[in-house]
């Protein structure tokens, strides 16, 4: 059964993912950025910021020193952002597949990495 923390993590993740996707679409469709890998990296930064704030305040209600958690969070999410950027570059730029579908698939994999990393490395 899903715990209350697990439900909060899902809600926070949905909000952060929405931020990520809105920025991705905005960069590609409206700002004219032609490289999905670069757009994914930039949008990931926006989503990661939303995720940290939500995880710290809403999911884990952390009272630990913010700088220690922020450093661990940045390291974790730098790896996840790199994973997303490489995944999008391969999926969309190299294979010429739909970037929205690629975003969904890569994000699903990133969610698992995020929860495990946050639970065991960042907000322990």
7-34: per-residue pLDDT in tens?
Answer: 999 999 999 989 999 999 999 999 999 8
76-89: per-residue pLDDT in tens?
Answer: 988 988 999 999 99
Largest Cα span, the chain: 45
pLDDT-derived band at 114 (thresholds 50, 70, 90) equals confident
Global pTM value: 0.72
Residue range(s) defining the domain that contains residue 39:
4-122
pLDDT of residue 57: 93
**Residues 6 or more apart from 34 whose CB is under 8 A from it?**
28
pLDDT of residue 81: 85
Look at the chain and report how many structural domains it folds into: 1
């Amino acid at each position: 059964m899903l715990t209350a923390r697990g439900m909060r993590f899902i809600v926070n993740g949905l909000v952060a993912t929405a931020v990520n996707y809105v920025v991705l679409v905005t960069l590609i469709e409206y700002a004219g950025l032609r490289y999905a890998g670069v757009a994914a990296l930039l949008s990931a930064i926006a989503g990661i910021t939303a995720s940290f704030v939500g995880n710290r305040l809403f999911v884990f209600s952390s009272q630990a020193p913010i700088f220690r958690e922020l450093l661990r969070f940045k390291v974790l999410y730098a790896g996840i952002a790199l994973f997303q950027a490489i995944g999008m570059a391969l999926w969309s730029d190299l294979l010429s597949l739909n970037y929205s579908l690629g975003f969904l698939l890569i994000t699903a994999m990133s969610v698992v990495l995020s929860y495990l990393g946050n639970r065991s490395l960042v907000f322990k």
